[in-house]
Amino acid sequence: MHEHHIAHLDISLRNFLTDHQRHYAHIDFELSRRFDGIARPLIFGYRGTEIPPECEGGESADPYKVDVWALGVLMLRACKLAGYHVPELMWVIKPMLNEAACDRPSIRSVLVAFDCILFMMQVAS
């Protein structure tokens, strides 16, 4: 979505679906916004499920970094609910939850790190 200049802005367990064939999808695009032609988009008055630190005081925020924060929270909650602790995954999640939005990775970097973990696990097995 980010590659298409779209921020979901409400990534949470309630808006994430999976099936028995390991397909997944985000739903509920009510808060989503497209930012075509805007080099550094900002949002104000964020009201999604997971509130990152920069939005708690009503400050402007980078919508893509808001999504990264929310996805990190979703990943932590999913691991906790499933009863899994994957140390390698924590190396991906920790930077996503950086208090400073500018220090959070892009969603592309998160995907690359996640794919590396999957590859290493496949090689090890």
Specify the long-range contacts of residues 104-112, CB closer than 8 Å, at least 24 apart: 104/65, 104/68, 104/69, 105/68, 106/2, 106/64, 106/68, 107/2, 107/64, 107/67, 107/68, 107/71, 108/2, 108/3, 110/68, 110/71
Query: What pLDDT shows up at residue 10?
Result: 95
Whose tokens are 């985000």? That residue is 26
The second-level CATH assignment, the architecture, of 2-124 is Orthogonal Bundle (1.10)
Query: Per-residue pLDDT for the chain (125 aa), expressed as one digit of tens each?
Result: 999 999 999 999 999 898 999 888 989 999 999 999 999 999 998 889 999 999 998 889 999 999 999 999 999 999 999 998 889 999 999 999 999 999 999 999 999 999 999 998 888 87
Total-model pTM: 0.91
Query: What pLDDT shows up at residue 83?
Result: 93
Query: What pLDDT shows up at residue 29?
Result: 93
